[in-house]
Amino acid sequence: MNAPEVGISTSAGRGIFFDGLSASRHEVAVELAPAALRLRAADGTILAEWRYDELETLSSPDDVLRLGRAGNPVLARLEVKDPQLAAAIDERSAPVDRTGRIERRLRDKVIFWSVAATLSLLLVAILGVPLLASALTPLVPYALERKLGAAVATQARASLDDHRTGTVFECGNAQNEQAGRAAFDKLLEQIEAAASLPWPLKVMIVRRPEANAITFPGGHIYVFEGLIKNADTPDELAGVLAHEVGHVAHHDGTRTVIEGAGLSLLFGALLGDFVGGGAVILAAKTILQTSYSREVEAAADKYGITLMARIGGDPRALGTILIRIAGTTHPGPKILADHPDTRDRVAAIEAMAEPVPRRALLDQTQWASLKTVCARA
């Protein structure tokens, strides 16, 4: 017989112990030692000593705490009915969780990390994605940017062509429109030569009533019929075109697409499997619906003013047409871009524009032809 072990218990009580070797039940004294749960028989013999971190809760009625030893090949178990003793064991053993303490902690952790993850995603979306897009945009090869722009522009055309007119949607192809297209090309050639971009522009005039122009990645530009109708002089139209070329030079369309449609679009482009995909649809919607920031618009305005000075046009003409189309009845002309306020923007253009030697960008006959570039009935 073992002699009783001398020690000070932190708590004690009574319980029923089953040794797992027989059907006998043993009334035991339960001692809560500093490191282990100790079970003593009536004669003081230690029947079992289980470390607190080895305990596991077994199925039992609500008023009984039934414990076992995790990993014990012998199915020994202890039953405790004293609620104070059960609470003391629960307090010392992390695996024992009658009060739901661990579950609450786990739930709190899940909630905390879920909120943290959500905030992280928001920060990435608000700060990280624009920074990443700005860093990646200059690294996009021209061939890929051109391919991307062609796909996005094609998808945008499908969205803009409300009546599904097909080839008729593009102005300048009919016989009575070709002179107007030739005049437009002459105006565009002067701007393109002054810009000296490392890639050619692809500019399409489309039958839309809004006073608008949209730039897509890779030098693809849509000029709306409404913009030509609202322009009173070749310089005003040239000023808008020069502004859009500024967006091309600064890769603003590509950066906007990366921000809005995500990197999956670029990865798909690299794999050659993105034309007509969902990412392209999203990219087209992003271009059509997004307005550029104050800084981006100001940079494009400054670029356009510089181009106009180089070709001998009126650098203030952009401001003139902006003021005019600000009062258009058609909603949301993209050239206004919502940010900054049109009058503030025009004031900035006036301040940047310096007097330059002027020349006629088109003669009166050419300008008259250009105004009818969408004349097809």
**pLDDT for 356:** 85
**Quick one: pLDDT at residue 122?**
52
What does the block give as tokens for 71?
């990993």
Q: Which H or E run includes 56? A: strand 55-58
The domain segmentation of the chain, as residue ranges, is: 12-99, 140-370
Q: Could you write out the DSSP letters of every residue in 263-302?
A: HHHHHHHHTT--TTSHHHHHHHHHHHHPPPPHHHHHHHHH
Per DSSP, what are the bridge partners of residue 31? 12, 38
Omega before 340 within 30 of 0, i.e. cis: yes
DSSP state letter for 128: I
pLDDT at 272: 52
Closest CA to 254 of 350, 139, 107, 113: 139
pLDDT in tens, 122-142: 554 444 445 555 566 666 777
Q: How far apart are alpha carbons 165 and 160 in whole angstroms?
A: 10
Residue 203's beta-bridge partner residues? 221
Looking at residue 341, what is its pLDDT? 76
Of the candidates 346, 325, 349, which has an alpha carbon nearest to the alpha carbon of residue 335? 325
Q: What is the pLDDT of residue 139?
A: 64
Q: Is 111 left (phi over 0), alpha (psi -120 to 50) or beta?
A: alpha
Contacts of 309 (CB under 8 A, 6+ apart): 315, 353, 354, 356
SS3 239: helix
- SS3 state of residue 14: strand
Encode pLDDT of 195-232 as tens digits.
999 889 999 999 999 999 999 988 999 999 999 999 99
> What pLDDT does residue 6 have?
41
Q: Tens digits of per-residue pLDDT, 262-295? A: 555 555 555 455 544 566 676 677 777 777 888 8
pLDDT of 92:
87
What radius of gyration, in Å, describes the C-alpha atoms of the chain? Answer: 38
Only one residue has tokens 């009580």, namely: 13
Supply the pLDDT for residue 3: 43
Report pLDDT for 284. Answer: 73
* pLDDT reported for residue 227: 96
CB under 8 Å to 49, separation ≥6 — which residues?
33, 36, 37, 38, 39
Structure confidence at residue 93 (pLDDT): 86
CA distance 369 to 307: 24
Instruction: Decide: 76 and 18 in contact? Cβ < 8 Å.
Output: yes
Q: Which residues of the chain have pLDDT under 50?
A: 1-10, 124-129, 271, 275-276, 328-332, 338-339
Per-residue pLDDT at 376: 77
The neighbour count for residue 106, using CB atoms within 10 Å, is: 12
The pLDDT, as a whole number, for residue 293 is: 82
On whether the 12-99 domain is CATH 2.40.128.20, my answer is no
